[in-house]
Amino acid sequence: MLVNNVGTEDGEMRKKAGEMMVSLGHRPDSAPLLEVNHLLEEILLRLHPLPSSLPRASLVSHRWRRLVSDPGFFRRFRLHHRRNPPHLGFFDRDSHDLHFVPALEAPDRVPPGRFSLQFDEGDKFHLLGSRHGLVLILQPSQKQLLVWDPITADQHHIDLPPGFAGPVSAIKVHGAVLRAAGGAQHFQVVLVDADADDPHHSRVLACVYLSETGVWGDLISAPLPPMLPSSNRVVFVYPAKPAVLVENSLYWILDGDLVGILKFDLERKSIAIIQPPVDVLTKSKYQYAVVRTEGGGLGFLFLSRSQYNAQLWKRKTNHDGVASWVLERTIELEKLLSLNSAARVNLCVRGFAEDNNVLFLGTPIGVFMIHIESLQFKKLPDHRLVSCNHSFESVYAAGNNSPLTLYTFQIKTN
């Protein structure tokens, strides 16, 4: 089980705080105040990025409180931890509202109403994914994309590129958002579309938007492999499975007449279709997902309900540059989750949080979070979860966007 080490971290923080108060609070007169504050800021930047970390630090002294409450410090804190953010929760939707479902327990639990986004009555929208603290939303009727930062409440409305000017549907169009490397201000959006209406000229389209320039790049296309001749299902980018970022490429699941993995290389601006390691079309009672493997490589998880296990495959490239799938391990779910045969039938992959490398499995008794590398698991506290498809991983600290005193009171009473 994942152990809640909040108390341990709190004790260590207070111990370090005491040591730093001795060294920083009773500084020699010759030490300039600016140098001391800079050293203290560098220390506080390395606190664990849980929501309660900065409010706890603010209790040490007035100086610490002023520092961690400064918006400039929080921007640096968020940038420092941009590659190891905590998993705060999930985004789910109803007819005209995008609401947040927290996944952490107190004192790190973010209030459900903290992140929410309302749309006008009748305004259809589709949640495409979340990454680096940004949320990407498709608004078909406006033929626009919305990039939303729930922490700062910033919104960016982007018109769809000319190559996507036809009828817009979330069944066909998918996308991903990510921040520019080394910075928090700029971002890019990758939009993909499986254009398979004509089986003789089926292809995948992609286009990249850069916020730094404010324009879309050239349309990129690649042919789709041959599809099943006996099926009438269209090929589409699976809308319920967001893209997974692995190294410098984004990966989506293709479904329909063709089940495969759609790869978009961010550096080369190229498209490739990868066949999964398991023929999922001939299997029954299965679930699958693109994941990251240990070391950050591309992985494919195949979950069998009938055998009650999960195969984790890894994509490897040999010395000749030829890539192939290798079965890395088989996870015996019986050793992790004790479910009866009736409950196993309803076992499903609900989502994946890429920065924390955790998988979410839905069961009749709740949703379980399983770390792919360590196989540590825990049951999520909220039983109202409808969907775990869209995880939200970001750095959030009460006090920069909401009253710090409220969080301070919660910490004192826990």
**Binning pLDDT at 50, 70 and 90, where does residue 280 land?**
low
Does 301 or 259 have the greater pLDDT score? 301
Q: What is the pLDDT of residue 252?
A: 96
Which own/partner pairs from 171-174 qualify as long-range (CB within 8 Å, at least 24 positions apart)?
Answer: 171/236, 171/239, 172/236, 172/237, 173/138, 173/237, 174/128, 174/237, 174/238, 174/239, 174/243, 174/252
Here the tokens at position 135 are 């949320």
| Residue 106, SS3 per DSSP | coil
Q: What is the pLDDT of residue 95?
A: 65
Q: What does the pLDDT look like over 174-220, one tens digit per residue?
A: 999 999 876 667 999 999 998 766 666 778 999 999 999 999 999 99
Q: Check: CB of residue 406 under 8 Å from CB of residue 397.
A: no
Q: What does the pLDDT look like over 223-239, one tens digit per residue?
A: 888 755 445 567 788 88
Beta bridge partners of 90: 101, 391
CA distance 261 to 123: 31
| pTM for this entry | 0.85
Residue 14 has pLDDT above 50, yes or no: no
Beta bridge partners of 292: 298
Question: If you average pLDDT over residues 366-389, what whole number do you get?
Answer: 79
Residue 28 has pLDDT above 60, yes or no: no
Q: What does the pLDDT look like over 71-96, one tens digit per residue?
A: 889 989 988 998 899 999 999 877 67
Residue 295: HSE in the Cβ half-sphere, 13 Å Cα cutoff:
7
Q: What is the pLDDT of residue 403?
A: 36
CA distance 212 to 207: 15
Distances (CA, A) of 261 to 230, 354, 391: 21, 16, 20
How far the first Cα of the chain sits from its last, in Å, is 22
CA distance 289 to 292: 10
Percentage of the chain modeled with pLDDT above 70: 79
E strand or H helix that includes residue 303: strand 298-304
Q: What is the pLDDT of residue 355?
A: 93
**Binning pLDDT at 50, 70 and 90, where does residue 170 land?**
low
Average pLDDT of the chain?
A: 81
